[in-house]
């Protein structure tokens, strides 16, 4: 993939690291703009450090490489590389640590139109149950191992902040306490971003396992306004 000449990618940051820790290191570098942290899979956090232009970014790379965070003296030095263009999209992604919601959240009371929407959702779920997982990229993310007491509203709190979000569905599964679901995005690149960023995410610290994400077998056409067709 093409490198982004204005951003540096910082891998494997320690738990507890904040953007302020990174900005403290980079604030005096020429052209520094900001630092953004993103939760990774199992390896902790990674981040992007933005600069005004390619020249400033190029000059900053050797100055930050292997530099240690003062707040984490026992942690290895930073591993820096140029950010790739696809990863730059993740700067717009939410910090999943702030996306958690109390399990006490309850969906609002349903009315006539909501009941009709729910019937339509159930018909969609029946179609989606046939063969949910695919091997090719699509704009629909299949979500497995959703806790049995999770609602669609709670699931949307996690996935709505990602770019291109359209809708989500939670599907009951017979014979197990886990649910599964589908999250629709505008295109497959946005869906891939979600799969990469939110893989293994736990809605609650008490959950026995994290969410398992993959492309769904079928895509859903979405209008420019973000409505499904």
Where exactly are the structural domains of the chain? 3-92, 101-215
Percent of the chain with pLDDT over 90: 21
Across residues 113-134, what is the average pLDDT? 61
* Residue that wins the pLDDT comparison between 63 and 123: 63
* Strand, helix or coil for residue 214: strand
Direct distance between the N- and C-terminal alpha carbons of the chain, in angstroms, rounded to an integer: 32
For the domain made up of 3-92, the CATH class stated in words is: alpha beta
Residue 2 has pLDDT above 70, yes or no: no
* Residue that wins the pLDDT comparison between 124 and 63: 63
Return the CA Rg of the chain: 20
- pLDDT tens by residue, 113-122: 777 777 666 6
Q: CA torsion sign, 50 to 52 to 55 to 59? A: negative
What are the C-alpha distances in Å from 163 to residues 26, 78, 112? Answer: 27, 28, 30
Across residues 46-74, what is the average pLDDT? 89
Mean pLDDT of all residues in the chain?
Answer: 78
* Strand, helix or coil for residue 111: coil
Check whether domain 101-215 has CATH 3.10.20.30, yes or no:
no
**Same CATH fold, 101-215 and 3-92?**
yes
- pLDDT tens by residue, 63-111: 998 888 888 888 888 888 887 654 444 444 555 555 554 454 555 555 6
């Amino acid at each position: 993939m093409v490198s982004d000449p204005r951003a540096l990618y910082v891998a494997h940051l320690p738990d507890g690291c904040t953007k302020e820790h990174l900005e403290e290191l980079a604030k005096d570098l020429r052209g520094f703009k900001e630092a953004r942290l993103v939760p990774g899979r199992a390896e902790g956090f990674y981040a992007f450090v933005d600069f005004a232009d390619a020249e400033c970014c190029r000059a900053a790379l050797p100055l930050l490489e292997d530099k240690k965070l003062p707040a984490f003296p026992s942690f290895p030095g930073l591993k820096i590389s140029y950010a790739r263009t696809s990863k730059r999209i993740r700067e717009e992604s939410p910090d999943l640590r702030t996306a958690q919601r109390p399990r006490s959240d309850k969906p609002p009371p349903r009315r006539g139109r909501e009941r009709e929407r729910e019937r339509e959702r159930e018909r969609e779920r029946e179609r989606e149950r046939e063969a949910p997982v695919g091997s090719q990229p699509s704009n629909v993310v299949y979500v497995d191992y959703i806790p049995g007491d999770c609602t669609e509203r709670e699931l949307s709190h996690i996935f709505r902040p990602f770019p291109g979000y359209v809708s989500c569905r939670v599907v009951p599964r017979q014979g197990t306490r886990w649910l599964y679901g589908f999250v629709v995005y505008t295109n497959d690149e946005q869906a891939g971003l979600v799969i990469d960023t939110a893989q293994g995410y736990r809605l609650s610290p008490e959950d026995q396992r994290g969410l398992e994400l993959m492309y769904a077998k079928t895509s859903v056409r979405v209008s420019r306004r973000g409505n499904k067709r």
